[in-house]
């Protein structure tokens, strides 16, 4: 997505910044998920049990698994129209590279920047949307009250705070999360703001934040090593950051 005087990166995360233009001759820059899957193909449930065992043994605090399926290619135009119709609090994207189409709808923005002021979001913890307004509210209250989801969410908040601290002169973190609702799910969310040092570039912020525990896990290095060892495919731009 391209808008005048703004930069955007889209996929699992997207970025926007006021007062700048895309690099000359480029309409987007891509930062894929930074590991290559080397594991053997095996049942999805096996990987879930292996991840749970790693957490029980204390080797990981959190790991975010991905699952790949194959099916006949859909009509892109029809699929995009469906995504746009369901894009509540989400950004729809589509791009082509090496004969492949990448498209989706993401509720997560990696950061928004205006001069030295940056806004980023911690998003984690999930419940479905309710069929009725009353059920929807009950599910949201259960999410806010869940110690398990709060623990996972706090890992993301702490990671972002720690990674921004060396780049910033001030960081503001809300005391409590709020609920963000998309078409079919709702998440715990905190909008965090920081004032960056004068020498900090966009590339430095991307390198510090990507990938967050919301798409990889924690500790980051151990989670990435686990994903590389156990997943049999490469995520590439799925869980990546892309689009100017």
How many angstroms separate the CA atoms of 47 and 227, rounded? 10
Which entry of 38, 49, 62, 115 is annotated as an active-site residue?
Answer: 62
Instruction: Confirm whether 6 is a catalytic residue.
Output: no
Do 35 and 240 meet the contact criterion of CB atoms below 8 Å apart?
A: no
The alpha-helical segments, DSSP class H, found in 101-201 are 133-145, 147-164
How many angstroms separate the CA atoms of 231 and 66, rounded? 8
Instruction: Confirm whether 62 is a catalytic residue.
Output: yes
Do 59 and 242 meet the contact criterion of CB atoms below 8 Å apart?
A: no
How many angstroms separate the CA atoms of 66 and 226, rounded? 12
Which DSSP category does 213 fall into?
A: T
Which DSSP category does 178 fall into?
A: E
Which entry of 4, 42, 108, 141 is annotated as an active-site residue?
Answer: 108
Do 10 and 1 meet the contact criterion of CB atoms below 8 Å apart?
A: yes
> Where are the extended beta strands (E) located within the chain?
6-8, 14-18, 30-31, 62-63, 91-97, 100-106, 109-114, 117-128, 168-172, 178-181, 185-196, 217-218, 241-242
Write out the catalytic residue numbers. 62, 108
């Amino acid at each position: 997505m391209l808008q005048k005087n703004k930069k955007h990166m889209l996929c699992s995360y997207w970025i926007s910044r006021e007062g700048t233009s895309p690099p000359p001759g480029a309409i987007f820059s891509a930062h894929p998920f930074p590991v290559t899957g080397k594991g053997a193909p095996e049942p999805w449930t096996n990987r879930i049990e292996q991840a749970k065992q790693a957490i029980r043994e204390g080797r990981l605090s959190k790991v975010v698994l991905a699952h790949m399926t194959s099916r006949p290619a859909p009509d892109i135009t029809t699929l995009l129209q469906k995504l746009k119709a369901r894009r509540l609090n989400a950004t729809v994207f589509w791009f082509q590279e090496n004969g492949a189409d990448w498209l989706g709808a993401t509720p997560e923005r990696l950061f928004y920047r205006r001069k030295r002021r940056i806004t980023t979001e911690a998003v984690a913890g999930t419940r479905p949307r309710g069929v009725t307004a009353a059920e929807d509210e009950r599910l949201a209250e259960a999410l806010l009250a869940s110690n398990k989801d709060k623990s996972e969410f706090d890992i993301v908040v702490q990671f972002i705070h720690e990674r921004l601290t060396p780049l910033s002169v001030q960081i503001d973190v809300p005391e409590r999360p709020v609920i963000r609702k998309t078409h079919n799910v709702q998440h715990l969310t905190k909008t965090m703001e920081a004032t960056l040092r004068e020498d900090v570039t966009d590339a430095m912020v991307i390198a510090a934040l990507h990938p967050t525990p919301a798409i990889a896990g924690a500790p980051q290095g151990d989670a990435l090593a686990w994903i590389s060892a156990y997943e049999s495919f490469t995520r590439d731009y799925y869980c990546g950051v892309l689009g100017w």
